[in-house]
């Protein structure tokens, strides 16, 4: 029987991953301190999992969580570029020190593999698109620095301790359960709420900035593949996980207006510090190593997301 630990398993991506693991027959344990995760995200499966209310910054807690586990999916993080700019110390404690705790605990517990939620924020503003994993990183925020440091720790633990690790650089994951109410909410969560409430879309910049928006089901697929892939223990691959196409914010607005039968306007404001202008992933390496191929496109993902928010 395969046993998995999902740190941050009550979060937006983590809770979807928990459901995906259960469907695959895993015994699932979740570690979350509910700083950004929500208990309601796990409500449909709470009787099928073991839930530990704890923090990755506490090594003893993480050690206990890693006992008798085959695979650790490290999703726990303090998300948001903006939040990290305002509080770099807290971002560092959770995203760097917390990740190191997870690796130490996994190594000492004899875990087979750690799958790490890395971020496309590590690339920064690259003149060349699509972004490929061999590019020199250029992080523009404490959040991006923290996620990049996590990748380096994954690599070092693979090389020094034969702990199999793999880093998945997520590109703008969106979907149901993303919290639109916080000031750090993902742009699609905010836009979806605006579409349903008939409010203008708040845009920082001219709306022509692009992202490789990726429906959450694609990210779950990548994690499941990463857990099972045949890997050299010292290899520690780094892979882009995205849909593989660029979509501008203005295009997202057009799609949401089309899906809701409206013509809501955008309210354009100044650009935000630390934000990347354009993002687009090459999926060549993920395809070669994991046979990863996204299954849900942006428009269908938006339709499903709208449906979920309507049902809340």
pTM for this prediction: 0.95
Segment 146-205, tens digit of pLDDT = 999 999 999 999 999 999 999 999 999 999 999 887 665 689 999 999 999 999 999 999
205: left (phi over 0), alpha (psi -120 to 50) or beta: left
Domain map (residue ranges) of the chain? 3-172+216-244+281-295
Q: Radius of gyration over alpha carbons of the chain, in Å?
A: 18
Cα-based distances in Å from 57 to 51, 91, 100, 225: 17, 11, 9, 28
CATH 3.40.50.720 assigned to domain 3-172+216-244+281-295? The reply is yes
Q: Which residues are catalytic?
A: 143
Burial of 312 (0-12, 13-18, 19+ CB in 10 A): exposed
Structure confidence by residue, pLDDT tens digits, 285-304 = 999 999 999 999 999 999 99
Torsion of CA 125, 128, 133, 139, to 10 degrees: -10
Q: Which two tokens stand for residue 302?
A: 């938006």
CA–CA dist 71, 111 (Å, integer): 6
Whether residue 77 contacts residue 218, with contact meaning beta carbons closer than 8 Å, is answered with no
Q: What is the pLDDT along the chain (312 residues), one digit of tens a residue?
A: 899 999 999 999 999 999 999 999 999 999 999 999 999 999 999 999 999 999 999 999 999 999 999 999 999 999 888 889 999 999 999 999 999 999 999 999 999 999 999 999 999 888 899 999 999 999 999 999 999 999 999 999 999 999 999 999 999 999 999 988 766 568 999 999 999 999 999 999 999 999 999 999 999 999 999 999 999 989 999 999 999 999 999 999 999 999 999 999 999 999 887 777 888 999 999 999 999 999 999 999 999 999 999 987
Residue 273 pLDDT: 77
User: Sign of the CA dihedral 9, 12, 13, 18?
Assistant: positive
């Amino acid at each position: 029987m395969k046993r998995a630990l999902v740190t941050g398993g009550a979060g937006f991506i983590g809770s979807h991953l928990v459901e995906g693991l259960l469907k695959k027959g895993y015994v699932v344990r979740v570690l979350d301190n509910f700083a950004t995760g929500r208990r309601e995200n796990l409500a449909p499966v709470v009787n099928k999992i073991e839930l530990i209310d704890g923090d990755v910054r506490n090594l003893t807690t993480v050690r206990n969580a890693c006992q008798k586990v085959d695979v650790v999916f490290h999703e726990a993080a303090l998300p948001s570029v903006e939040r990290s700019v305002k509080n770099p110390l807290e971002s560092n404690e959770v995203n760097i020190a917390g990740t190191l705790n997870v690796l130490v605990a996994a190594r000492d517990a004899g875990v087979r593999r750690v799958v790490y939620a890395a971020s496309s924020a590590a690339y920064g503003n690259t003149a060349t698109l699509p972004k490929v994993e061999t590019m020199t990183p250029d992080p523009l925020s404490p959040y991006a620095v923290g996620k990049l440091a996590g990748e380096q720790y994954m690599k070092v633990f693979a090389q020094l301790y034969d702990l199999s690790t793999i880093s998945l650089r997520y590109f703008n994951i969106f979907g149901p359960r993303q919290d639109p109410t916080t000031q750090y909410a993902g742009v699609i969560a905010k836009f979806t709420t605006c579409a349903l409430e008939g409010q203008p879309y708040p845009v920082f910049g001219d709306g022509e900035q692009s992202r490789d928006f990726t429906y959450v089901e694609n990210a779950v697929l990548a994690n499941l593949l990463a857990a099972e892939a045949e890997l050299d223990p010292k290899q520690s691959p780094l892979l882009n996980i995205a849909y593989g196409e660029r979509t501008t914010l203005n295009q997202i607005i057009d799609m949401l207006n089309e899906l809701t039968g409206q013509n809501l306007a955008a309210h354009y404001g100044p650009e935000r510090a630390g934000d990347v202008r354009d993002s687009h992933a090459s999926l060549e390496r993920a395809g070669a190593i994991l046979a990863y191929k996204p299954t849900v496109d942006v428009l269908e993902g938006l339709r499903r997301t709208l449906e979920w928010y309507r049902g809340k």
